[in-house]
Amino acid sequence: MSGSRRVLSVGQCGFDHSSISGFLAAEFSATVDAADSRFEALQALERQPYHLVLVNRVLDADGSPGQLVIEAILGLDNAPPVMLVSNYADAQQQAETAGALPGFGKSSLRTPETRERLRAVLG
């Protein structure tokens, strides 16, 4: 993949999607697409490649667990890197056990640690 970094953000509410998108655009010149459900996320991944997928712990649209989205994506051939967006350490551990990269909570979006985690994937 060349050009702009593309990120798929799954299950964020409008406010959080805007906050995450603005941060990724400013820090990494990334374009962020939104998906509300596991189905929409898988469809988006069929249409084009992504450098990173960010999955909310609980999807805003329907309240379903983000862990199911993570597992579905990581089960794909050539799955992109995936991170969980959650402040809960136990949820992060569950996501990492399934194969996700260490993620971050919304409250730590602008911290140096989160920047480094994202820089490792987005350059």
pLDDT tens track for 86-117: 999 999 999 999 999 999 999 999 999 999 99
First to last CA, the chain: 13
- From the list 10, 47, 56, 13, the residue with the least C-alpha distance to 32 is 10
CATH number of the domain encompassing residue 32: 3.40.50.2300
* Domain, as residue range, for 50: 5-122
pLDDT reading at 1 higher than 70: no
What was the pLDDT predicted at 3? 62
**Residue 49 or residue 4, greater confidence:** 49
pLDDT reading at 5 higher than 50: yes
Would the pTM count as exceeding 0.75?
yes
107-116 in b/e form (b: 16+ CB < 10 A) is eebeeeebbe
The band of 120, judged by pLDDT with boundaries at 50, 70 and 90, is: very high
How many folded domains does the chain comprise? Answer: 1
Residues 77, 52, 31, CA angle at the centre, nearest 5°? 130
